Amino acid sequence: MDSACCAVVVAAGSSSRMGAPKQLMELLGVPAIVWTLRAFDRAETVSSLVLVVREEDRETIGELASRFGIRKPFVFASGGSERQLSVLSGLRAVPRGTRLAAVHDGARCLVTPGEIDAAVRAAGEECGSALAVRVKDTIKTASPDGLVLSTPPRDSLWAVQTPQVFPYERFLLETERAAAEGRLYTDDCQVWEHAGLPVRLCEGSYENLKLTTREDVLSAKAILRRRGEQG
């Protein structure tokens, strides 16, 4: 699909579990959000970015983007009370002429340009795409009191990551419809799925982790060192 793609990077969370804004946490001397922006800046398929952040972080993140040499054009959008509303805010700020929107969690700062390009190229005229990895552990479904209800076959299970990529105009319409109807989901593919539209999974990497706990920070630093990345 020959098209301009805008990355909507969602980095508006309060990071209550981390005790500090995780998007500004330093990894090898570089804030996490900068590692994220560098990957999208280097991705061949991405032409522009929308950074969905808290109002109080705009100036800081803008200065970081300039200091660390982010070259692609970007604009800011304000975060919402829920992640899905933050995504909607970002979608509304996407520039004219955009055909694809790649929604990405800013805290997934280890995504690579190649993974981004693969996800974008996997999307189609009416087909979304998402990076994902095969589940390694056996998964159980359980009742609220912890009793096992079933064990789904592991070979059919995937852990979904970001970016998740969709045809922009239709995805904006479906996200606005979900917000109007009060439907909140845990990821963006569910908005697309609710409309009866297909999503193609694109095999990603277990290194594309999301900074959620202190242990994730330690893992991220180790991965960056192994890659030979320099601050």
What's this model's pTM, rounded to 2 decimal places? 0.93
Judged by phi (left if over 0) then psi (alpha if -120 to 50, else beta), residue 40 lies in alpha
Q: What is the dihedral of CA 135, 184, 190, 217, to 10 degrees?
A: -40
- Spell out the per-residue pLDDT of the chain, length 231, in tens: 445 999 999 999 766 566 667 889 999 999 999 999 999 999 999 999 999 999 999 999 999 999 999 999 999 999 999 999 999 999 999 999 999 999 999 999 999 999 999 999 999 989 999 999 999 999 999 999 999 999 999 999 999 999 999 999 999 999 999 999 999 998 999 999 999 999 999 999 999 999 999 999 999 999 999 998 766
Which ranges in the chain belong to alpha helices (H)?
32-42, 58-67, 83-92, 113-122, 168-180, 189-194, 214-227
Count Cβ atoms below 10 Å from residue 195 Cβ, excluding itself: 15
Domain 5-226 has CATH 3.40.50.150: no
Domain segments of the chain as ranges: 5-226
Structure tokens at 59: 């100036």
- Answer yes or no: are the C-beta atoms of 162 and 103 closer than 8 Å: yes
One-letter amino acid at 140 equals K
